[in-house]
């Protein structure tokens, strides 16, 4: 009898350690909390803490509750970039309304030694990728001739939709800078859930500045790519999410805010 009880207790411990319903055993899965359309609706308060998020990845991007900064995760470290473009630490107790992470284990490395615009870089990578229909986690590290990125100011309730909130974004431009861009290339069919195409956040080598990448001219970079066929999405448990109407086409919003 005692033995049986012990087994039950051990099993319970294993189950409770896995946290959100999916186990994070499969390191090749892209994990996402909430949807990009929820952000468009102004749903800026999530229930997932950074402590929880870290169980699903050491690499990725997202934001914080009240839209209080851009998030970038790289080599297991999570950074918060506020509207001043500066980098701040992320506390485990902070929460996110939208984030995409994975355990970054690159399958492929591409060295680029000639200057290229962001558009040309995307076309070049597209020509090398085996399929447009799977997920890619992408890390671009090296020297940038030019880079333009943005961050967002903390929002106060009642929250405005993302397109309106972004009217107060702060945009930064740097020349001749070393740093890393972190993010994903997602298939077109992901529209509504995440950002189709390339979505990257940037951080400087000294880890002092960064943001959501808007444009760049690369100088000499190493591109690492981790392809993935697994995608796991966790929906917010808020009343706002359950009440929101997501039926309207958000293509216009996506083009305007993320691309
Ligand atoms: Zn972003």
Residue segments in the chain with a per-residue pLDDT below the cut of 50: 1-2, 4-19, 23
Residue 212 CA, ligand 1 centroid: distance in Å: 4
Residue 221, beta-bridge partner list: 112, 142
Quote the tokens at residue 147.
């880079």
| Residue 182 pLDDT | 98
The answer to whether residues 59 and 257 touch, using CB atoms and an 8 Å cutoff, is no
The answer to whether residues 109 and 79 touch, using CB atoms and an 8 Å cutoff, is no
Residue 11 CA, ligand 1 centroid: distance in Å: 39
Residue 237 CA, ligand 1 centroid: distance in Å: 23
Residue 213 CA, ligand 1 centroid: distance in Å: 7
How many Å apart are CA 192 and CA 248, to the nearest integer?
10
Residue 40 CA, ligand 1 centroid: distance in Å: 13
Residue 19 CA, ligand 1 centroid: distance in Å: 26
Domain ranges of the chain: 27-258
| Residue 249 pLDDT | 57
| Residue 243 pLDDT | 94
Looking at the domain covering 27-258, what would its CATH class be?
A: alpha beta
Residue 111 CA, ligand 1 centroid: distance in Å: 24
| Residue 16 pLDDT | 39
Residue 32, beta-bridge partner list: 100, 233
| Residue 253 pLDDT | 62
Residue 211 CA, ligand 1 centroid: distance in Å: 8
pTM over 0.75: yes
């Amino acid at each position: 009898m005692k033995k049986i009880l012990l087994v039950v207790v051990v099993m319970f411990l294993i189950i409770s350690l896995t946290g959100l319903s999916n186990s994070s055993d499969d390191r090749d899965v892209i994990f996402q909390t909430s949807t990009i359309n929820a952000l468009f609706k102004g749903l800026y308060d999530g229930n997932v803490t950074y402590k929880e998020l870290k169980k699903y990845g050491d690499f990725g991007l997202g934001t914080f509750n009240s839209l209080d900064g851009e998030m970038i995760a790289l080599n297991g470290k999570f950074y918060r970039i506020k509207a001043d473009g500066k980098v701040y630490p992320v506390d485990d107790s902070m929460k996110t309304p939208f984030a995409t992470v994975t355990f970054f284990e690159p399958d492929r490395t591409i060295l680029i030694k000639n200057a290229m615009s962001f558009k040309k870089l995307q076309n070049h990578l597209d020509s090398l990728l085996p399929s447009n229909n799977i997920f890619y986690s992408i890390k671009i590290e090296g020297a940038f001739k030019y880079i333009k990125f943005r961050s967002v100011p903390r929002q106060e309730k009642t929250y405005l939709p993302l397109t309106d909130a972004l009217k107060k974004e702060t945009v930064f431009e740097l020349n001749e800078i070393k740093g890393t861009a972190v993010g994903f290339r997602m298939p077109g069919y992901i529209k509504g859930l995440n950002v189709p195409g390339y979505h990257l956040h940037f951080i400087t080598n000294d880890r002092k500045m960064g943001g959501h990448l808007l444009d760049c001219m690369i100088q000499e970079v190493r591109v690492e790519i981790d392809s993935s066929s697994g995608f796991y999405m966790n929906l917010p448990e808020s009343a706002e999410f359950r009440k929101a109407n997501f039926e309207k086409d958000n293509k216009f919003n996506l083009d305007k805010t993320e691309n």
